[in-house]
Amino acid sequence: MNLEHIVREPLVKSENPPLLILLHGYGSNKEDLFSFAEELPKELLIVSAQAPNEMGYGGYAWYDINFDNVNGKFSDLKQAKESIDKIATFIDAVKAKYNTNIDKTFLLGFSQGAILSYSLSFFYPNKVNHVIALSGYVNEDLLPKNMPTDIKTDYYISHGIVDQVLPIDWARKCKPFLDNLKLDSVYSEYKVGHGVAPQNFYSFKSWIESRL
């Protein structure tokens, strides 16, 4: 497979297990979100992917974030699109290897991983059935020119009210954006910074459980 990853096989075996792919944030690695695995439903095949761009000190990025005096902070969109394509190929490879339930593919991303989860769901319509976007936002520079009209994916969105990395205002635009496309989503906020509060974890866990 084209991305480094770690796997938790289903603890309750089935012929076609539901699949959950985890995408970490900027500067993190495949171990980060994998800590969720032991608390998540036993039926799930859980695969935590690692971003391809090494930053040193055990950190990886799906795409570079650059800083300069003229543009301030800006994202390397070419790298981001390359990562989206790699993730799409990776998902297909995991589905084939483990013979997963093609109607129950979940994609959970945190921060940069959430930004790419949104984008992938539009570039590759219905490759994933459910997106869990934690502490991210829809980057409108990372969307197809012609938006697909046949998406069935639904979205769980959450964000920290005092997030100092990605402002809450960016996240608050996501549900109206999805509503406008007539896509199903739920949105919640928590009194945390750039992270996942315990009640946030139990909220998206129950959202996943209700879709299994």
Q: Write down the mean pLDDT value for the chain.
A: 94
Confidence of residue 81 (pLDDT cuts 50, 70, 90): very high
126 phi, psi to nearest 5 deg: 65, 10
CA distance 54 to 28: 10
The pLDDT of residue 108 is above 90: yes
Instruction: Average the pLDDT over each of 44-58, 59-73, 98-112 and give the range with the smallest value.
Output: 59-73
* Mean pLDDT calculated for residue range 4-32: 96
Mean local confidence (pLDDT), 1-23:
95
**How does strand 59-61 pair with strand 65-68?**
unpaired
Q: Where are the domains of the chain?
A: 5-209
CATH number, domain 5-209, options 3.50.50.60, 3.40.50.1820, 3.20.10.10, 3.40.50.720: 3.40.50.1820
The mean per-residue pLDDT over the stretch 59-77 comes to 76
Rounded to the nearest 5°, which phi and psi values hold at 66? -105, 155
Take residue 124 and report the two structure tokens written for it.
Answer: 């590759």
pLDDT-derived band of residue 65, with 50, 70 and 90 as boundaries? confident
pLDDT tens by residue, 96-107: 999 999 999 999
Nearest to 212 by CA among 8, 15, 4, 19: 19
Q: Is the predicted pLDDT of residue 72 greater than 70, yes or no?
A: no
Quick one: average pLDDT of 123-138? 97
